[in-house]
Structure 1
Amino acid sequence: MFNIVVIASGNGSNFQAVIDAIDSGLINARIIKLISDNERANALNRARSSGIETVIINGKDSNFYPILNDILLSINPDLIVLDGFMKIMPDYIVNEFLYKMINIHPSLLPAFGGRGFYGIKVHRSVIRSGARFSGCTIHFVTSDVDNGPIIEQRVVEVNDDDDEYTLSEKIHEEEHRALVSSIALLISGRYRISGKRVLRLY
């Protein structure tokens, strides 16, 4: 069985999309643990409702990353999914799980990515830029923030009456589909990494 660990800081709607995809048979995997740095994260409630083990690590603890690393090493999952995780992984964790950790970014990378671009700030920047299209990106996590090989992207039109909140809602819907599709690809093993791209093998 393909084992997944999810690390989330907030609502966990993408986490829920993966739970639903597993329950419906769209992907053949199991989520073995939900880790959060926020004891108030709704993702924890979603996990408990689905019988998924949860772990809370105080995000302000100076030993946060060593604790997280020890947990991940003890599990050695096939895949780690970052769902709205608001911290930047240190290189030693990234390198330990290189190409086994993926992130969901709410823009079409490399645009509107990197340090300081997260959550509603991304959508606000897109609106202010005048861009006509935005979207989401599923990518492997590397030490180069938001610049790992791209697995999948989905495009969303930015309408004239959109603000950062309506744009966020539209992109969230595509994030769910893109994440499930990306996990299905990784489970299949029918891909190879070529530079900044993840190529599907047919």
Structure 2
Amino acid sequence: MKKIIVFASGSGTNAEKIIKHFSKTEIAKVVSVFTNNASAKVIERAKNHQIPVEIFSKNDLLERNVLQKVAEIDPDLIILAGFLLKFPENIIERYPNKIINIHPALLPNYGGKGMYGMHIHRAIINNKEKETGISIHYVNEHYDEGAIIFQANVALTDEDTPETVAEKIHELEQKHFPEIIEQLLKE
């Protein structure tokens, strides 16, 4: 069975959806959740599913401590599901094309440093976009610039607000992220 590590910084709804999805398959299992936020709700979600959690500091991430813990697990895939720190090059180099991220916009638009969550949704509304979506992509050394694996879009109306955009994006993430991870693991 293949091993997945999930990195998350916040509520962990996507992480939990991935955990639940793979608990019903023989393809892979989420074996650990890593977080840089000691008060993140993802910790409780992971523990509810008996998934071990590693809590680390930004210094741990930069000083190879996290790389060492990841290497001990030797995952087949590393998933960034709402992980807000820039992913370190030492892990990217060790696991090329085995780290994927989900981004709440249609890249290359609305990507880069500082472009996450409601910042993106507000920018999309302010720019009067007619559609938005999600991008699942490989992680490289630059924010949101890795090769795109999958995109799904959703139409917007003049009545949409950043909050309704967030809801639409969340639905796309919950539907597609586990399926795309499964497809990658089968390849």
TM-score class, shorter: over 0.9
CA distance in 2, matches of 1:158, 1:97: 37
Q: 5+ unaligned residues in a row in structure 1: which ranges? A: 190-202
Moved over 4 A (4+): none
Deviation at 1:84, TM superposition (A): 0.7
TM value normalised by structure 1? 0.88
Q: Is the 8 A contact 1:106 1:135 kept in 2?
A: yes
**3-state SS in 2 of match to 1:63:** helix
Give the aligned partner of residue 174 of structure 1. 172
Q: Which letter does structure 2 place at the counterpart of 1:110? A: P
Does the Cα contact within 8 Å between 2:101 and 2:137 map onto a contact in 1? yes
SS of 2:126's equivalent in the other structure is helix
**Aligned runs of 1:1-202 on 2, under 5 Å?**
1-25=1-25, 28-59=27-58, 62-65=59-62, 66-189=64-187
What is the aligned-residue identity percentage? 34
Number of equivalences: 186
Secondary structure, counterpart of 2:115 in structure 1: coil
> 1:159 offset after TM fit, Å?
1.7
How far off its partner does 1:94 sit?
1.3
Q: Is the 8 A contact 1:135 1:153 kept in 2?
A: yes
Query: Partners in 1 of 2:122 and 2:105 — Cα distance?
Result: 11
- Counterpart-to-counterpart distance in 2, 1:98 and 1:71: 17
Shift in alpha-carbon separation, 1:63–1:21, aligned structure 2, 3 A: closer
Q: Distance in 2 between matches of 1:48 and 1:63?
A: 22
Task: Please state how far the C-alpha of 1:28 moved relative to its aligned partner.
Answer: 2.1
CA RMSD of aligned residues (A): 1.3
C-alpha separation between the residues in 2 aligned to 1:71 and 1:124? 37
- Asked whether the 8 Å contact 1:107–1:137 carries over to 2, the reply is yes
Tell me if the contact between 1:15 and 1:83 (Cα under 8 Å) persists in the aligned partners.
Answer: yes
1:108 touches 1:134 (CA, 8 Å); kept in 2? yes
